[in-house]
Amino acid sequence: MNANGRQYSDDEEEPSSKKSRTEFLLCPYLDTINRQVLDFDFEKLCSISLSRINVYACLVCGKYFQGRGTNTHAYTHSIAESHHVFLNLHTLKFYCLPDNYEIIDSSLDDIKYVLNPTFTEEQILMLDTNDKLSRAIDGSSFYRPGIVGLNNIKANDYCNVILQALSHVTPIRNFYLREENYMKVKRPPGDSSFLLVQRFGELMRKLWNPRNFKTHVSPHEMLQAVVLWSHKRFQFTSQGDPIDFLSWFLNALHRALNGTKKADSSIIHKTFLGHMRIHTRKIPPVDLEEKEKYRLLQLSEYAVSVTESPFLYLTCDLPPPPLFKDEILENIIPQVSLSSILEKFNNQTEKEYKTYKDNFLKRFEITQLPPYLIIYIKRFTKNTFFTEKNRTIVNFPIKNIDFGEYLSNEVKARHSSTTYDLIANIIHDGEPEKGTYRMHVLHKATGQWFEMQDLHVTEILPQMITLSEAYIQVYELKM
């Protein structure tokens, strides 16, 4: 209560002109802070009441408690455990309890930065050229910003590989590292899907934080938002498919940023959106006589139709594996080149598609390549009884892949460049629906490739990347 008799609530500050700040500068309990136990990756709710309102972190034990007024959980904890230093997770202000005064000390800035890392435009521009290692709080562990493991809570490795891959797509990373880029986006009243954008931005800043206390990050808050806004379609307690998650996630981010069908309406479309033309013609039933087939082909229903279609990724089909294996070929895994499965998009190769009553032939013609090209290699086929995996190895170069050979001369002339380099490669290991996912990613500052599987991060030789069962790949256009 101030001199005028006004009472201030937990979250409300008494005007600075009314209070002496000298009492805030010295706190005898700062040496009790244990940075080793501080972990701000998890959902910010009180460990007792599970409330998200007015939550404080105890900087001695790392637990979260609500409030700081008399009889609140944080206040009670401070008296019962003699833990005195707390951080408001919303306002980023430090307090000493139970005395209930604010602590202002520059030695606490590192804790504030771990909770909410910030980047200037100059720092972001240096990310792809800075090859310095960062040191974790224990002093014995080193890590490279951006090359840090993601915790697997139970079965969220299919989400982790997508989040890691997107964090190395430069325009996406640079956009989400600065909150100013998306904080002014307005959503309709009652629509809180924007939380997904905020959580992704927070995760991106933690992955690239050069002053983290540990060498890994937990995507817990990010995944909580995913579960909520996908209406539990994607869980972190059961395995999912990365391509399903990627498709949903990119479209959800695009909509939350008020994106439209226009190519430049959001950072998602600016980065990944390409265009193709699909030529479709219906096939007469095979058991008809030639005369009847000829008559049907004259109908408009059987004429070639052309549709313009945007895409965020290209789906490539693998040749079917051999049905029978002899004793010699039993252990040989079929191989195919990337160029051969990309011939699907050269506007000449026709592919048959079947529905429950009709058959169609389709030709695909790419009319616009995106700055970042995602390729999905379709390894799983589902039938009535089970899911089958095609283990065919795809041989692909890592650098200087020219996609111009799949474009018409007219379309190619509109592109200043059609050459791409691989920057991320997602792999599936094991049996369908039971396997695990890992990824390879390029650290641009050093030119070194890393293999990442949840918390495990190791260097890998580029030659080893092409030996894996590639599932999703991200390519960057060379300018």
C-alpha angle 225/263/405, rounded to 5°? 110
Q: Residue 436's closest CA among 422, 450, 456?
A: 456
Q: Residue 393's closest CA among 322, 452, 338?
A: 338
Q: Is residue 86 classed as helix, strand or coil in its secondary structure?
A: strand
pLDDT at 6: 39
pLDDT at 326: 55
For 418, residues 6+ apart whose C-beta sits below 8 A from its C-beta are 369, 402, 403, 404, 407, 412
Q: Residue 156's closest CA among 230, 225, 236?
A: 236
pLDDT at 13: 46
pLDDT at 357: 78
pLDDT at 330: 57
φ and ψ at residue 86, rounded to 5 degrees: -130, 155
Spatial separation of the C-alpha atoms in residues 274 and 282, rounded to whole Å = 26
Tell me the mean pLDDT in the region 33-43.
92
- Cβ pair 440, 460 in contact under 8 A: yes
The bridge status of strand 372-378 relative to strand 314-317 is: parallel
Answer with the residue of higher pLDDT: 291 or 112: 112
Whether 22 shows a pLDDT value over 60: the answer reads no
φ and ψ at residue 179, rounded to 5 degrees: -60, -30
- Cβ pair 314, 373 in contact under 8 A: yes
Q: Is the pTM of this model over 0.75?
A: yes
Measure Cα distances from 388 to 290, 292, 378, 470 in Å: 37, 38, 11, 16
Answer with the residue of higher pLDDT: 74 or 131: 74
Percent over 90 (pLDDT), the chain: 70
Answer with the residue of higher pLDDT: 434 or 228: 228
- Cβ pair 254, 172 in contact under 8 A: no
Q: Residue 270's closest CA among 169, 163, 124?
A: 169
Q: What pLDDT, in 10s, does the model give residues 57-79?
A: 999 999 999 999 999 999 999 99
Question: pLDDT category, 473, cuts 50, 70, 90?
Answer: very high
Tell me the mean pLDDT in the region 32-43.
92
Whether 21 shows a pLDDT value over 90: the answer reads no
Angle between helix axes 194-207 and 242-256 (nearest 10 degrees) is 110
Q: Which of 57-66, 127-136, 170-179, 447-456 has the lowest mean pLDDT?
A: 127-136
Q: What pLDDT, in 10s, does the model give residues 310-361?
A: 999 999 999 987 776 655 555 678 899 999 999 999 999 888 888 777 888 8
pLDDT at 139: 72
pLDDT at 263: 84
Whether 20 shows a pLDDT value over 70: the answer reads no
Q: What pLDDT, in 10s, does the model give residues 349-369?
A: 888 888 777 888 899 999 999
Whether 4 shows a pLDDT value over 50: the answer reads no
Q: Across all residues in the chain, what is the average pLDDT? A: 89
Tell me the mean pLDDT in the region 385-414.
92
